[in-house]
Amino acid sequence: MAYFMPVLKNPLINAVFNCPDPHASPFKKLYNELRDKDFLLLVPNDFILLYYKDSTSNISFRELCYTYDFVAAHILILDKNSSTDKISSSNQKNGDVYLKSLNGKEVLLRQSLCIPIKGYFSKRKSQMRDATLLTNFNDYLHGSGHFGIMHIDYPLGVSDWTLIDELKGFEESRELPFHSQDKDKPGLLQRTEENKADRVKFIQLFQERKDWTIELEKYLKKYQAMEPLQNIGSELFHDIVNMIYNTLKEEQRFQRFTNLYDIAYEYIESLLYQDIWNKLQEHYRDKILDFRLVSQLSLDMLDTTFYNRTFKNFQLIDIVNMEACMVQAVSVFKGIKSANSYSKKVDVIFKTLNIITGKNSDDTIRDNTLPKLPLIDADTLVSLFALLLCRAGVEDVFLHVQYLQSFYKDENTVKFGALGYTLSTIEATLSYFYELSNSDESRIQLQKLSLLEDFLIKIRSQHDDLIPINQFKDYFRYRTQYGESILSLLIANKKNEALCEALLNFEDIFPLDDLLYDTDVSGSTLLIKCLKERNLEAAEILIEIFQNSCTNSELLNYYNKTDKTKRTLAHYITDEIEILEKIGKYINWTLKDLKGRTALFTIFRSYDQTTYSSTIKIALDQALLWYKNNDIIFKVSDHTDLFGDSLLHILKSQVSLLLKFEDLDINIPNLKGMTPLMTYVKYNRIDNIKTILEDGRLIIKKLQKDKYLNCLDYGKNFTVFNLLAAKLSKDVIFENAYISYARYEKSHWYLCISVQKDDLEYTTNIIKLKKYYNLINAMQKIYKSDFIPYSDMLDCLKKIIEGHNILPIRRLKIKNYLNFLSHGLSALLYFEKIDPLTLLDENLIIKWISSKLQQQEKSIDDHSSFKPLSAEDINNIKAFCDFSFQEIGKTNNVIQSFLKLSIFGEIKNTDLNTSYDILERLGSYFSNNEISRTLGDLQSISPHVHSSMVYYELSQDILFMKKCTLILTSKLASFIKDKLSIWLKKNTKLLEHRKEYSIKFLQSNEETGNLSENTSVFRYAWNVTYRKEEERRLKFAMLELERDLKKLGTEIRVKHEELAEEFSDYVRMKSKFNSNLLVRKFVSLNLAHLKEQSNLVQRIAMKLNTK
């Protein structure tokens, strides 16, 4: 193609591929070196190339893109000799590819990283962001029809860069991003780091004085030698700390430490902690408690204000919230076992106190929120600590309290204030346990716990024995450490008769309000518990109670309560159709759990249910009814989870339920880049595949981001391939075949080929690529007059096998090869070169090749049956060939124009998307927040608004047609030049010989044969002999020419018939190409992309309106 494009947006791509006059260009040397090479172009971020400059040279990257060294450093040669072998294979990681640049530098491609190895000034790694193929449109690079473009973050070999001068003003006014965490904790992290540095510096300075370290060692040994049973050594510990502090505070080098006492204390503590703890264990070994006997202790068994209220003031929600706080407090308090310093123990104590009293504190719990609790008095706090100690099971808690009270950092903190109060409360609690162990109250309490244990055993029993519920009514207020009530336990263990009896006969203990507020620490209501445990009978009981007793607002509130995972009751529905129909109108279908999934989403994912089809239909109907009743427009996109999976992705069957929504984007990928169709193909959802293939919005060959796979790459069985091929073959020139994939398995390359049978159904088989190669190679020899590009098809098959190991580019190129091969295969079948079923059987292919080649060898032209061609015949044939040649030439010109337009559309759409991205990036430099935010929203549009895929596919189809056109043009030109012209020359020569013969030998005997009086006998004899020799020569020459003309005429006749047939076939193919590809495919594919873009723009517009 002797043309070039308007200037491309990316200066590096423009410099390499779009030179209008390569012979006069400064890059003449570069173009000559690349002329016959296949290469990969590494293209840095467009924004950097356009608006930054190299800090070292102070030259903009836009200018560097027109310098040899910079460009050559970003061109990686893909020839076999270009990869470096300096790193042994044993050291290479799987997937590593080593390549040399055009100027001899070395680069490592490792997964998604591009790493300069040798020759580059900077070794900065760059992330590979995207890979594309550029259809070659110039006439000076011949190494490939499609060159790989790898988009990377940064230019290679450049250490630093800055904005160009034109944007310096923007840079100064740019607002830095605000980090809320820095605002919430001003200086906290900094102070922490400073404290650590102070401690390190303190130890370093202290240990420099050997006399101090020796003196300290004596005191440490003195402490370690103390008898633990007599004294835990707290006084000596404080003496050591004070001695060190008083000594150091006079030293000038230590006066820099503003918290010198704390540092000295922590240093001594770190040296003696284990010795102190050993002494405490020995001294207070009789203070170790065993909480196993009271592990079932419950809040209702303790003296608290929660249960001492009148019925009117009693609130079960307070109990539920307290249980939730207790679970968190137990988790935190267990950390005291590993707290090996005063500060750490105090931290555990304070965090535990804050949780129990319902106060938030930094880093206390994951989401830094606690349930709201009522005010707690001193007696209740003691009871709560008692429950905490029982559940935490910290048997040596007394030792920790003694450590804090004896080895304090500040005596006042352990006697007064919050810490002192908390330690006193814990001491009071411990006193209760010590007194309890030897009292009548203890025996009574243990007896109650024993009866409670018996009750729990009966509930949890696997047998269906009736539970004498009335005997255990004193324990109905019991709740486990996980906040489970007796009702919750009955539900979990499917003791539904006992549940009914408790609800029917003990309404005073289980009033309606308590049923509504009864949740465990995970936030599960009783009804959620029913669905979690699959106790549907209990669920029906509770639903009947609620719907007969609750107001509409109470039902709305209860059915939409969420647990800790933010799931509502409806999130746990699987195949409970009757329950769904009863509560569906109360469910808020927009609520999402922590994974961003709505109840409709989770119901759609309940694959293992026998009633799946009816359940999802009812769920959707209920959801639509709720949306309608609440005047909300239902949007399928609102039910997409945090992983990008939409309802369309997860639907197992009946996809038609969703396809009726016009706003649906059926090609939308999830975060892994998989479209709904890819998911269906991967999991063999046949019915969904059949249905979605009929939707005009579908883009079948959409690629998965980063992996560069399409739905065909996920196919596993022939049924799926038959369905896909039936649709995809419509994008092939004769709509009768498709090659789905090329895979390397078990040391062989295989092609998955689908063809249309006589009954219009498709059948698929896996054929070794080598067999298909042999078939095409044989056809090239057998059908010598064909315009089908056999040679190019063979080249595609070779490249599939011999391609480089740069996975993204190779996958893209293989898809191109398969598209070309599919067109070729379609033509072979349409023109009946081979039977469809033969094509799918390796044994039949072998037999077909053998049979055809033998027929070719045995065939002998029967020249006698052909009438010799006259000059008029030849002229008629030549006139036909000239006409055909001109017509094909016109077609070729049109094809050239279409090809140029398609490549132009592809490139300029890419440039347009780049412009959106650049505009968004520039917007971030505006100090005006509104402008910056508005332009920032363009980022979500730019990758999708203008699709270059439509034009790219069109260009690939046109390339096939162009190959066929050039082959037929070449054969016609060769026929005219090598056959017709030669025949005409020979015929002219024959006519000249005949004329000469007529003049010399066909006159009267008198003129040519009488002996003259002046001619001697000798001369006369010589003339007669010469005349006969000349006559013989002319006759022989004419005979040879006549024989040559007859043979050549036979060849011309045969070749003419073949070319006439080929021209006829070409006309048919051109018609198919125009109707099937240029019109139908292009229009339908373009419409699908436009619909996808329209949906995207609508979503962005709604997002902006919301803002």
pLDDT in the model for residue 178: 32
- The DSSP line for 603-621 is HHT-TT-TTHHHHHHHHHH
pLDDT 10s digits, 971-980:
999 888 888 8
How close are the terminal C-alpha atoms of the chain, in Å?
50
Q: Which of 73-82, 310-319, 435-444, 828-837 is predicted most confidently?
A: 828-837
C-alpha distances out from residue 736 to 719, 726, 1066, Å: 17, 8, 17
Beta-bridge mates of residue 767: 751
Query: CA-CA distances (angstroms) from residue 1063 to 164, 784, 883, 961?
Result: 59, 14, 11, 14
Residue linked to tokens 């040649």: 885
Question: According to the model, what pLDDT value does residue 617 have?
Answer: 95
732-847 belongs to CATH 3.30.70: no
Look-up of token digits 């510990």: 237
Phi, psi of 741, deg, nearest 5:
-155, 165
Q: Is the dihedral of CA 975, 978, 984, 987 positive or negative?
A: negative
3-state DSSP assignment of residue 322: helix
Residues 908-947 pLDDT 10s: 888 888 887 777 777 666 555 666 566 555 555 444 445 6
What average pLDDT does range 642-671 have in this prediction? 93
- Residue 823: band (very low, low, confident or very high) from pLDDT cuts 50, 70, 90: very high
The pLDDT of residue 209: 83
Backbone angles phi, psi at 754, to 5 degrees: -120, 135
pLDDT score for 188? 38
Partnered with residue 741 across adjacent β-strands are 752
Amino acid, res. 1067: V
pTM value > 0.95: no
| Euclidean distance between CA atoms 756 and 829, whole angstroms | 9
- Asked if residue 124 has pLDDT above 70, the reply is yes
Summarize the confidence of residues 671-691 as an average pLDDT: 95
Length of the chain: 1107
Task: Inform me whether the pLDDT recorded for 653 exceeds 80.
Answer: yes
**Contact status, residue 79 vs residue 98, Cβ threshold 8 Å:** no
551 pLDDT above the threshold of 50: yes
Q: What 8-state DSSP symbol labels residue 475?
A: G
Q: For position 585, what pLDDT does the model report? A: 93
In what helix (H) or strand (E) does residue 134 lie, and over which residues does it extend?
strand 126-135
Look at residue 303 and tell me whether its pLDDT is greater than 60: yes
CATH class of the domain defined by 289-438: mainly alpha
Is residue 740 within 8 A of residue 724, CB to CB? The reply is: yes
DSSP at 1073: I
Mean pLDDT rounded to a whole number for the chain: 84
Q: What is the pLDDT of residues 716-756, one digit of tens each?
A: 899 999 999 999 998 899 999 999 999 999 899 999 999 99
Q: What are phi and psi of 479, to 5 degrees?
A: -135, 140
CB 582 within 8 A of CB 547: yes
The span from the CA of 751 to the CA of 1100, in Å, is: 42
Quickly name the fold that domain 441-549 has: 1.25.40
CA–CA distance, 630 with 841 (Å, rounded to integer) = 61
DSSP string of 223-262, one letter each residue: HHTS-TTT---HHHHHHHHHHHHHHHTTSGGGTT-TTHHH
Please check the confidence at residue 333 and state whether its pLDDT lies above 60. yes
978 close to 986: Cβ distance less than 8 angstroms = no
- Based on C-alpha coordinates, what's the Rg of the chain? 45
C-alpha of 180 from chain center = 30
The residue with tokens 């006084």 is 235
> Scanning the structure block, which residue is given the tokens 């040519």?
1008
Distance CA 732, CA 119 (A): 47
Looking at domain 871-1001+1030-1106, does it have CATH number 1.20.1270? yes
| Alpha-carbon torsion, ordered 973, 976, 977, 982, to 10 deg | 170
For the segment 981-993, the average pLDDT, to the nearest whole number, is 87
Query: What dihedral angle (degrees, nearest 10) is formed by the CA atoms of 155, 161, 167, 170?
Result: 110
Does 309 score more than 70 pLDDT?
no
3-state secondary structure 697-732: CCCCCCCCCCCCCCHHHHCCCHHHHHHHHHHHHHHC
pLDDT computed for residue 926 by the predictor: 59
pLDDT in tens, 189-247: 444 556 777 888 888 888 888 888 888 888 888 888 888 777 788 889 888 989 888 88
Predicted local distance difference test score (pLDDT) of residue 18: 92
Least confident of 362-366, 444-448, 562-566, 695-699: 362-366
Query: Which pLDDT tens digit goes with each residue over 56-88?
Result: 899 999 999 999 999 999 999 987 654 444 433
pLDDT of 361 over the 70 cut: no
pLDDT value of residue 927: 55
- Please state, for a pLDDT cut of 70, what percent of the chain lies above it: 85
Task: With a cut of 80, say whether residue 491 has pLDDT above it.
Answer: yes
Q: Which pLDDT does position 437 carry in this prediction?
A: 58
